[in-house]
Structure 1
């Protein structure tokens, strides 16, 4: 027995190896954050991984409070710390002293890319299907051996035991999980006798939850004819399936609570509504009975003649008013008729014709006088114009001894037009004389 070590002794020996190794006292490490859940005012536990390996990490509260950014799952970071062994679990881990971002991890980048793609297609903003209030059959797509189905069955039996739960077993982790989940969602829709569909699994890292971030699962949920409740991971985990589903639940128990009401509450509500309806009906009958009694005691039934007394008085008043209106109307019509008669007499056709004939006679006399006066005025103006023209007549001027000279039928106006020997015609008022120019003597210029 002396050759055998206890687990504690072996673990202590390995831990000492880690602690005294100078290469592990300060390690510079790069990797992708996985399985990170923020714990306010506490130490932070998470994992760092790459394509081939994963290491657990712890960052104490004093170091975490110095960070200037918020770590998130899928974020690629650069960390500095020491590597040691945790004796209780026998796992080695890195104690992180410093951390800074170094880009985004591959899974998280793929998640964001698919999220943007489906958001652009409108899968997240499409109208959400309402959940039936009283479902009869509920389909559940999850692992048959996990705690999810047990929590759902327990909650439904406690709240609404008349609802039937039908399990569609599916892989919820691994390479074939997405295909299996998609197949079971389509199968539940093909059966077509369910009211609600729940898909879910427990918590885990982003790798464990990745089947619910696959595009095939998202499209199967979007194409489902059944309203879908998604319950994947913990409350801090948000998968593509949660965004596409009609309702997201933080836990499987919450999913079951969203799917079914509490039967006792429903029965209590029915009883409450029944009592309310009974009271409302009783009050209505009582009010109608009171109205009937008041009507029976009304004066209309006690003294029926009083019902039409007011109408008789109104009839008499209306009759008097009608007679007064008719009398006034007839008087007005007679006055208007008398005025019309006077106007007709004043505008008699015989009188109008006589006035028109007198007016025509006056206008004729006026027109004749105007014509005569106008003719006399124009005759006098013509005589004065004739006298003026006669004074300006060339013949009148020639009668006083003046002549004008032409040569070849052209009037000579200057001595320069004449030459010795030129034959000219002298025109007198009473005849014509022909002469020959012997000499031409122009006036001397001063």
Structure 2
């Protein structure tokens, strides 16, 4: 059976004509969000998307010059244009003829505000980004337990290095409370402390679905993480705050697994290549050193070693003569200086000054001894007076005159009759001992 096979060019041109001749595609009205927007000096190339689909868009320089507002990433717009294909690549796209704003969603405004805030605080700075380890042993993944993300990451890692352990930390990735779950699981991974890399992510969706990864609590938890983080949120065209704060961004979960893990066969091959390179380098170094050794052995130094130090011996003799001459000159200068100093010293003898200082020292010594005796005598009298005063106040003196000190059973001094009760045992301390007595009667004077 014979078939007429088309070339790729012929097929793309045929599809292009189909688009060009379709009356429904010659004038279309589309609403959606601008994505991958970056203003260029000439023609504009970008993407129009909604919650479920995207389409590439082109706006020629002349048409864009008629736009009266400044388009921005994520802005909802109303566009008019025609849909056709690019024959060279076979990709279909919309050629935009006019564009009008259709308002900006609250979530996007919140996203931009938080983005500007965190940028000003330095959370996106490259100097804070951590390096993703090349040879991890354990990788933590924070994502949904039931989604395809964890399966894609595990498959990618196992294909590259089956020895790496992948541990799931399940968390809701959309809906109320999802941001708090994601942040908590990132903290849990850091608290465990035995992971090399952390991957966070989820599949694609609308800005509402991806919103937990745009919340401040998640951004700051990623920034505070001591473990390097790879963010894989949404599709390649989606950009979240988590992507900007993370140490590295992956366009898909599979790519995240590839970034986080080395190709085992590549590692082994690289080790073997390095081993071969090292062996070759060692052989070359040995060969070069052997050649140098042979050359040195044939040099005049080994053939006639005395020639090596002949010039140095002659130079040493010259330097010795020069040194002796310089030494004699220095010695002569010092002798002259010594004679001059001796003559000056003889004119200003310190003998009289020494005698004066000795007399002054004797006077100060006698004065010091006299002051010490006076202070000692004064302090001795003060001590004697205070001892007499203390002895005069001693309760033992009072007790010697016939007084006693009465205490209760708990050794408290009794001052009033109300301090004791009938039948209680009391102790009376006298000057030569004490007496224990039981209280049988209490007489209290009235009015006292």
Conserved? CA contact 1:44–1:59, under 8 Å: yes
**Distance in 2 separating the partners of 1:170 and 1:217:** 12
Instruction: Check 1:147–1:314 CA distance in 2 against 1; reply closer, same or farther (3 A cut).
Output: same
Kept after mapping to 1: 8 A contact 2:33/2:77: no
- Change in Cα spacing, 1:209 to 1:246, as seen in structure 2 (3 Å) is same
Separation in 2, partners of 1:57, 1:239 = 17
Report Cα offsets for 1:327-363 as digits up to 9, x if no partner. Answer: xxx9xxxxxxxxxxxxxxxxxxxxxxxxxxxxxxxxx
2:288 equivalent in structure 1 = 287
1:219 aligned partner: 220
Deviations 1:221-265 (A, max 9, x none): 111111111111112211000111111112222222221222222
Check the 8 A contact 1:35/1:204 in 2, yes or no: no
TM-score, normalised by the number of residues in structure 2: 0.52
Counterpart of 2:156?
155
Matches within 5 A, 1:390-401: none
Do 1:74 and 1:106's aligned partners in 2 also have CA atoms closer than 8 Å? no
Q: What is the CA-CA distance between 1:60 and the residue it aligns to?
A: 9.6
User: Structure 1 residues 70, 257: CA separation in 2 closer, same or farther (over 3 Å shift)?
Assistant: farther
CA displacement at 1:206 relative to structure 2: 0.9
- Confirm or deny that 1:203 pairs with 2:204: yes
- Measure, in 2, the Cα distance between the counterparts of 1:196 and 1:57: 32
Structure 1: give runs of 5+ residues left out of the alignment.
1-27, 49-54, 82-95, 331-446
Distance of 1:223 and 1:264 partners within structure 2:
34
Contact 2:137–2:165 (Cα < 8 Å) also in 1: yes
Matches within 5 A, 1:354-393: none
Equivalent in the alignment of 2:168: 167
Q: Distance in 2 between matches of 1:57 and 1:194?
A: 37
- Partner residue of 1:251? 252
List per-residue Cα deviations over 1:162-218 (Å, max 9, x = no partner).
Answer: 211111111112122212211211111111110110101111111111111011111
1:259-278 alignment to 2 at 5 Å? 259-278=260-279
Q: Secondary structure at the match of 1:131?
A: coil
Structure number, greater radius of gyration: 1
Q: CA RMSD in A?
A: 4.2
For the 8 Å contact 1:59–1:97, the answer to whether it is kept is no
Give the Å deviation of 1:144: 2.2
* Residue 57 of structure 1: how far off its partner (Å): 11
Partner of 2:117: 117
Q: Which residue of 2 aligns with 1:105?
A: 105
Match in the other structure for 1:401: none
Normalised to the residue count of structure 1, the TM-score between the two structures is 0.52
How many matched pairs? 277
Structure 1 residue 281: deviation in Å? 1.9
**Deviation of the 1:120 alpha carbon:** 2.2
Preserved CA contact (<8 Å) 1:74 1:107: no
In structure 2, what is the Cα distance between the partners aligned to 1:196 and 1:239? 20
Gaps of 5+ in 2: 1-28, 38-42, 82-95, 330-448
- Whole-angstrom CA distance in 1 between matches of 2:156 and 2:131: 21
Quick check: 2:138–2:166 contact (8 Å CA) kept in 1? yes
Q: Which residue of 2 aligns with 1:235?
A: 236
Matched residue, 2:362: none
